Structures are given as C-alpha cells and as structure tokens.
Structure 1
C-alpha cells in the first residue's frame, strides 16, 4: 500500500513543499517556525517525516514491533497512533545531519526543540524555548509521560 497520502515520505522533501501531506498537514505554528529556521539556516533542511495519519502510524508501530520483538521495545522508537505527536501534526523529523546540528544550536530561538536523546532528527514546537531554552531531553519516547495516555 502507498502511504504517501497518509504522510509517508519515501524521499526527503523540502520544508517549503506545499504539496507533500507530511509537510502541509503539520500544525501551522510548527510549520511556520520550521520554515523561518530553514530560511535563516546556513544549510538546507528537508523533512524526512512529519504529519502522519493514524493508519500510517499504526503501520509504522506494527513494523517496529516486528523489528524489535515487543510493543515495549518498539515504543523506544515509534509511538502508537493515539500518542504520536506526528499524528497531531506536532512533530517533524529533520535532515540532513548538518541541518540537525544547526537546529541543535539555534532551534530554541525558533521554539524548535529536540525531544528525545535517541532521536536527534525529531523536533517539536516549544514556544517557551525562545525565552527559556529547550526542556531536558527524554532518553527515548518510552520515558515521555505523553506516551502513557
């Protein structure tokens, strides 16, 4: 099944792409911050993952369970549809490595924060970070209290 309409990103897309569902279905505030950061950056940004439908997120979780052997092990890398920030359009996976490095240094100024230590590509909008800096990283998604809904 082709999940592109459900948010799959078979090939990275520019953050300014206005046709890819993974980009255009992001929360408008997150997308705006991401585009402002990308316009100011000294390197190119691409989206490797963004908004996802619940169906596509469920597919990714099933794949992770098969790969890692259990739902608990999979939860270190992939959230369920009911807990994923991607399904809400509130998370974006950014590449390449130089863009991630730039965001790690400058992202807080745009409210863009890495959330999980094991996922340097995963960014979410934290508007308070502009004034206070990004919150401490969770080791992985399984430590995020939002994943226990």
Structure 2
C-alpha cells in the first residue's frame, strides 16, 4: 500500500507530465502555423512577381526590302529579290540561265522583286538625279505600277547576259519590255510561239504605268 505522502508525490508527477505534454503540443502547433504562414507568404511573393518581358522582335535581315547584294544569281532562292518573283518567271529564268551557262554566261540579278517602300525610295532618288518627276518616270515606276513590286520583272547583268537574252530569251518567254532598258525582262508566255511584242520606248510609253 502507498502512504499518503507517496500518493501526493505521484499526483504531483502526473500533473507535471500533463503540463509538459500540453506545452509541447502548444509549441508544435505554433511551429506548424508559422511554417504554413511562411509558405503562404512565399506563394504570395511568387504570384506577385511579374512575368519576364518578351524578347524584342528581330530586325529584318539584309535584302528584306528587295535590295540585292553583289553576285546574286537567279538560283539564290534565299534572297527576297529572287524568292519573291512570280514562280513562272523564276522557272523560265532558271531554265534560260542553265542553257546560258553552257555558253559560259552567268545571269547576275541586279534587281528583282522590290518592296513598295524600296520602290518609293528608288523613285525619289531618280527624281533627285534626273531633276524632275517626268524624267525620272522614264526609268523608275511608282510603287503602285511597278512590275518589280508585283514580282513580275527582273533586271539582269552583265552585258553578256543581256546580249544572250536578247538573242535567246524569246524561246523561254522572256522579253525585253523597254527599249531604253536592255536589262529589264518580263515573262510573256505567248512569245515562245508568237515572238516578243514590240518594245515600249520607255516606261512612260507603257499603258500599265499610266495613273
């Protein structure tokens, strides 16, 4: 049997154990609440962080306006001045260029497709060079009427290529259109059988160029 002193001592130990467990539980609850609070705060910071800005758009590459680097041929399909030509015109040019190569002739593209902005620039330069809009019109069309902007014309060089085309271009439907521009060729499919039509003296003589 326990004495009364032992009973009181045992009761005190039991109360101390209960208090200890309660304190420990309280500490644990406080820690969990603190941890959850920290997680919520971190989530708020992440959600409030703005997205990274999109990278700036890349600038257009060289020749995107239709300007032509030196040495470009009709086979350089990665150059916009060539790639944006009408498919039938480009096919005829490549057939002719392949035949001309057997004669040691290379077709160099001095101008092909042009953007409207580039055409406007060329016309402005021509007005400054020739002194008037009327004289400039004999050499450079407006963006609204130019077959270059439409992808329907090509200027070739050197003189050997122009000479070859003047003699053999008809067989491929390639015709010189203006008497003052021996480098300017367009596709006339009927020319294969009927021959090229008469040339205009210059672009101002061409009905397509009239406002």
Superposition TM-score, scaled by structure 2 size: 0.68
Q: Does 2:137 align with 1:137?
A: no
Deviation at 1:115, TM superposition (A): 0.3
Aligned to 2:135: 73
Structure 1 residue aligned with 2:122, among 23, 38, 60?
Answer: 60
Relative to its length, the structure with more strand (as a share) is: 1
Count of residues paired in the alignment: 148
Tell me, in whole angstroms, the C-alpha distance in 2 between the residues paired with 1:115 and 1:24. Answer: 22
Deviation at 1:15, TM superposition (A): 0.9
Aligned to 2:177: 115
- 5+ residue gaps, structure 2, are 1-60
Relative to its length, the structure with more helix (as a share) is: 2
Deviation at 1:94, TM superposition (A): 0.7
Contact 1:50–1:91, Cα closer than 8 Å, also in 2: yes
Tell me, in whole angstroms, the C-alpha distance in 1 between the residues paired with 2:71 and 2:117. Answer: 21
Tell me, in whole angstroms, the C-alpha distance in 1 between the residues paired with 2:171 and 2:117. Answer: 34
Tell me, in whole angstroms, the C-alpha distance in 2 between the residues paired with 1:66 and 1:83. Answer: 20
Deviations 1:22-65 (A, max 9, x none): 00000000000000000011211111000000000000000001
Q: CA RMSD in A?
A: 1.2
Runs of 4+ in 1 over 6 A off after TM superposition: none
Q: Does 2:64 align with 1:5?
A: yes
Contact 1:3–1:56, Cα closer than 8 Å, also in 2: no
Aligned to 2:96: 37
- 5+ residue gaps, structure 1, are none
